[in-house]
Chains A and B, each alone.
Chain A
Amino acid sequence: MAKQEIGTAKSAEIERREREPEVVLRPPVDIFEDAEGITLQLDMPGVSKERLDIQADKTNLLIEGSAQIDMPKGMEALYAEVRSTVFRRSFTLSSELEAEKIDASLKDGVLIVRVPRRAELRPRKIEVRAS
């Protein structure tokens, strides 16, 4: 009977741990807009192309990635300023942007995402004719 109680307590502990929120890093971002559209630059050190996931629909852009850090076997943390390997950040998109034409590139842990503006909505230079 006592044995069974210990068993129950243990599974409750595991359950509690699984329910705890996952620690997620928020990558720092630069966002700028020019005539072509909006560009985002995010720092995601340790993330390779294979471990990056970008999803976009009409209203949201979600960027997720997980860093792969090579560690020797049996390593113990002595000191840590980065406590997670999961990066996640989301942004709202607006209707003048073309979510289906988003383009992304990744180099040395810097992700660049380009969200083009609809061609018909790009600013047009208006010529002033001399009369």
Chain B
Amino acid sequence: MFDRLTNFESLFDEFRRVEQEMDDAFGRWAVPAGIRSVARGTFPPINVGVTPDEVDVYLFAAGLDPKTLDLSIQQNLLTVTGERQVPLKDNATYYRRERFGGEFRRVVALPDDVDSERVEANYRDGVLRVSVRRRESAKPRQIQVNN
């Protein structure tokens, strides 16, 4: 029993070290954090990527029922609310409970030129992807030089 506990502890130290390395790597990437960003460990974590045509929001939310998700977009603010149920097993001893359970709400600011009428969302393998089209004016335009 005790050797199992100590093994867990040393593993935990190892994980802390790995996390530290991750933080160092993030610093190098220097992707700016939004004003509505939250402490690490908040559920679900979000990535946002852009192309000239669309803005894609990825929510890393494993084990959700897509029917319980509520997405809304107001101007350029995307709000996702939902609930993840993590039922406890009866007659079991829990050694670790790290997974998020309960209600969540996340708000993310998108670029100003998104078209809130053209939004698509799909859920696959635990990742919710929300694609929002951008208005035509946001696309880079070739300008002819006349002489």
Contacts and interface: CB of A to CB of B under 8 A. Distances in A.
Judge: A and B partners, yes or no.
Answer: yes
A12 interface: no
Nearest to B110: A78
A43 B48 CA distance: 20
Contacts of A72: 49, 51, 53-54, 56
B125 A71 contact: no
B21 interface: yes
Interface string A90-131: 111010000000000001111000000000000000000000
Nearest to B6: A92
Given A75-B50, A80-B29, A45 B95 contact: no
B41 to A, nearest CB: 9
Contact of B29 (A24, A73, A83): A83
B47 interface: yes
A79 B15 contact: no
B89 A67 contact: no
B11 interface: yes
> For chain B, which range describes its interface: under 10, 10 to 19, 20 to 34, or 35 or more residues?
35 or more
A79 B99 contact: no
Given A31-B94, A43-B63, A109-B62, A91 B32 contact: no
A85 to B, nearest CB: 10
Interface in A57-72: 67-72
B77 interface: no
A84 B125 CA distance: 16
A79 B126 contact: no
B94 A30 contact: yes
Given A24-B22, A83-B29, A108-B62, A76 B127 contact: no
Contacts of A74: 51-52
Contacts of A43: 62-63, 99-100, 126
Interface of A: 20-21, 23-26, 28-35, 39, 41, 43-48, 67-84, 89-92, 94, 107-110
Interface of B: 3-4, 7-8, 11, 15, 18-19, 21-22, 25-26, 29, 31-34, 37, 40, 44-56, 58, 60-64, 86, 89, 91-100, 108, 111, 123, 125-127, 129
20 contacts: A24-B18, A25-B22, A26-B15, A26-B19, A28-B100, A30-B94, A35-B91, A41-B99, A44-B62, A73-B51, A76-B50, A78-B111, A79-B34, A82-B46, A82-B47, A82-B60, A92-B11, A107-B63, A108-B64, A108-B126
